Amino acid sequence: MAHERTFKLPLSIVSPGDLRRIKREVDELCDTLLQMELREGGQKQPKMPKTSRQLDDLIEVNKANLLVKDEREALVKALNEIVDKSPVLHMSFSAEPSTKFLDKLIFYIRDSISPYAVVTVGLAPSIGAGCMVRTANKFFDLSLKQTLIGHRAELIKELDTSGIVKPVEGAS
């Protein structure tokens, strides 16, 4: 992407839905500013739309001045490209994640995997702990159950030594 290292996504923007909403806000803001430029002095100016905290964060991390047309157009262009091409990760947790948790998670993902990745958060109470990650073509089970399966031999050995379960000949 041409805007890599020049355009940043704030941690408050998490999901593709957030991106689309920010894009709509930016478009609305651009329209308002365009109307203000077209109207002559003395005429009633349109009311400036309210911006969300996520848009504020976006503007802040990118140090963009939306009153400047070029910067505004660059932001719109980058947003369009990110909305269309940003990698999406579907992550499921056992409970609704907190903002603090999501901040840490998004920070890691954008730092280690892709700076423009967004995450769709889902709920899977049955996994107990950990998470399940689904990308476009793959599924990664990072739950506690899968971890226990990975350590099955140690678990059986521990149960055998503890005497809870006696070993059975021929049992796999």
Partner 1 sequence: MTIWWLLLILGSLGAAGIGFIWLIVHVSRMSGGKSSNLNDSIEAAAREDVEHIFNDDFREELRNRGRLNFENIINENAMFLQQDLRLTIAQINDYMKGEITTKLQAEFEKYEQGINDAKQLAVESLQKTNQAIDEERKKLSEQIQADIEATKRLLIERFENNMTEIVNHYLLAAIGDQIDLNDQIDFILADLEANKTAIIEDLKNGA
Strands 88-93 and 118-123: parallel
Residue 84 touches partner 1, criterion: CB under 8 A: no
Ramachandran class of 163: left when φ > 0, alpha when ψ lies in -120 to 50, beta otherwise: left
Q: Which is nearer to partner 1, 49 or 128 (CB)?
A: 128
**80: DSSP letter:** H
Minimal distance, residue 141 CB to partner 1, in Å: 9
Residue matched to tokens 């998470």: 131
Q: Which residues pair with 118 in a beta bridge?
A: 88
- Give me 105's structure tokens: 């998670």
Residue 129 touches partner 1, criterion: CB under 8 A: yes
Tell me which stretch binds partner 1 (CB under 8 A): 24-32, 36-44, 51-59, 145-153: 145-153
Cβ atoms of 11 and 111 closer than 8 Å = no
Which parts of 89-128 interact with partner 1 (CB under 8 A)?
89, 93-95, 97-98, 100-101, 104-105, 108-109, 112-114, 117, 126, 128
Residue 144 touches partner 1, criterion: CB under 8 A: yes
Cβ atoms of 165 and 159 closer than 8 Å = yes
Where on the chain is the footprint of partner 1 (CB under 8 A)? 87, 89, 93-95, 97-98, 100-101, 104-105, 108-109, 112-114, 117, 126, 128-131, 133, 135-138, 140, 142, 144-145, 148-149, 152, 155-156, 159, 165-166, 168, 170-172
